[in-house]
Amino acid sequence: MGTERDDTSDASGGTTSARADGGPTDPEPEPDIDDVLDDLETLEDMVDSPEEREQVREAMRTARRAGTPRVFGRIRDSFDLRDAGEAVVGAFVFGIPMIVEGGTLEIGEDIAYSVPALAVTALFGLAVVLGILYAARFEEVESDMIAGVVPRRLIGILAIASGMSIGLMTVWRRVDWSDPSVAFAQCLVTGVVMAVGASLGDVLPE
């Protein structure tokens, strides 16, 4: 004798299949982006006017873009303590190998007295950080701008990376400030990598 089943709606609005013998219920699968596209394709066949059909096709294109996973999240809120904490973690993870690696000190010694080399290093790091933040559309968060011009997030990330670089390199005696030019260059090299890590740490969890 077969087992009877009936469909009931759960609290979330989904449908579950209830067995007459009191056995466990089997929840219906949650709809996904493919179900949305199928419904839109059906709607496209039903509409008559070219304008309505074009609107449906635009909705399908938007749904496909929404269903494509992004490498970076999209920043929607202003830079706060939670973001600063994520930036600290990212800077630390990326910076530790640079601090303990002797090659960092050698690079700093080589570029210490070359202004162009120092400038290129700093500008390269800034460009990478800006590229990461722009990928997350940080410029669209108006509340993140100081006086509507200066991005608080960028300043926060650079301040965290710079402070951690100088602080850790000094506390762990990886630099000798008796020669400030060399010490600054070594901290700069470390700070560039830390800034990249800080920006990734801030963006990826979004």
- The span from the CA of 91 to the CA of 194, in Å, is 4
Task: Please tell me the total number of residues recorded for the chain in this structure.
Answer: 206
Would the pLDDT of 197 be above 50? yes
State the pLDDT confidence band at 191, using cuts at 50, 70 and 90: very high
Mean pLDDT of 79-105: 91
Q: What is the mean pLDDT of the chain?
A: 78
> For residue range 137-171, what is the model confidence (pLDDT) as tens digits?
765 555 566 666 677 888 899 999 999 999 999 99
- Which candidate, 89, 115, 102, places its Cα nearest to that of 184? 115
Contact between 154 and 130 (Cβ < 8 Å): yes
- When pLDDT is cut at 50, 70 and 90, the band that residue 136 belongs to is confident
Quote the pLDDT of residue 28. 61
What is the C-alpha separation between 113 and 179, in angstroms, rounded? 11
Confidence at residue 32, expressed as pLDDT on a 0 to 100 scale = 59
Residue 16, pLDDT > 80, answer no
- Provide the percentage of residues in the chain whose pLDDT is more than 70: 66
**Which one, of 51, 173, 186, 3, lies nearest residue 111 by Cα?**
186
18-73 tens-digit pLDDT: 455 555 555 566 665 666 667 767 777 777 777 777 777 777 676 665 554 444 44
Band (104; pLDDT cuts 50, 70, 90) = very high
* Contact of 107 with 121, CB cutoff 8 Å: no
What pLDDT does residue 83 have?
A: 84
